[in-house]
Amino acid sequence: DAKTTQPPSMDCAEGRAANLPCNHSTISGNEYVYWYRQIHSQGPQYIIHGLKNNETNEMASLIITEDRKSSTLILPHATLRDTAVYYCIVPNNAGNMLTFGGGTRLMVKP
Amino acid sequence: NAGVTQTPKFQVLKTGQSMTLQCAQDMNHEYMSWYRQDPGMGLRLIHYSVGAGITDQGEVPNGYNVSRSTTEDFPLRLLSAAPSQTSVYFCASSYGRMNSGNTIYFGEGSWLTVV
């Protein structure tokens, strides 16, 4: 099962883009990368996921490197409500479990 | 959080009591699972189900039972509550396996305190 590594914390100015990196150097060719966030102790909120191509939805963009060893979640115009812990996750090989590591605590500041 | 409903939201139990956390989803998802989150930590998988009548253990199954009699419901039973089970519990569901690109949706959580 692939492991992920994220910086423990990041700051971002309100209105600027927040770029959250994730390293998943042991990922295999058919494993997806998922991003979730958790605000306080609410239920994890799905943001985006991808396999090989870059992905964009109404919340964020996901940039995956060509070798798939790392990815970056981009929140294009961060707001104070984006302050949360962001998790980069690669499901286990069986596809039945998400392993939540420490995540990145993003603080959006005025 | 689309369609995953957990009850109760808050519960206080005495050591040794039993209780059931309820989880229901209305998305016709085959996969359902229970996670627990201890303070300052990530979520850990307790039990999961890949369809009605099928359940399996996750990382931390001891002290918990599950059953899946319908597609919609996946209750989590604490047989004899212990203070170590004080945690926030999250139910989740997905259409299928996540290594096929399916999205997993989480409920809002159930806060359990065992005294």
- Nearest Cβ partner for A32 among B59, B96, B98: B98
Q: How far apart are CA B109 and CA B94, in angstroms?
A: 16
Q: Please indicate whether, in this complex, the C-beta atoms of A94 and B43 are within 8 angstroms of each other.
A: no
Residue among A4, A62, A96 with most chain B CBs within 10 A, to mutate: A96
- Nearest Cβ partner for B45 among A30, A44, A97: A97
- Nearest Cβ partner for B98 among A41, A87, A98: A98
For the CA atoms of chain B, what is the radius of gyration? 13
Q: What is the pLDDT of residue A82?
A: 97
HEC assignment per residue over A25-62: CCCCCCCCEEEEEECCCCCCEEEEEECCCCEECCCCEE
| A50-67 tens-digit pLDDT | 999 899 999 999 999 999
- Which chain A residues are closer than 8 Å to B33 by Cβ? 96-97
pLDDT along chain B (115 residues), means of 10: 86 97 96 92 92 94 96 96 97 88 92 97
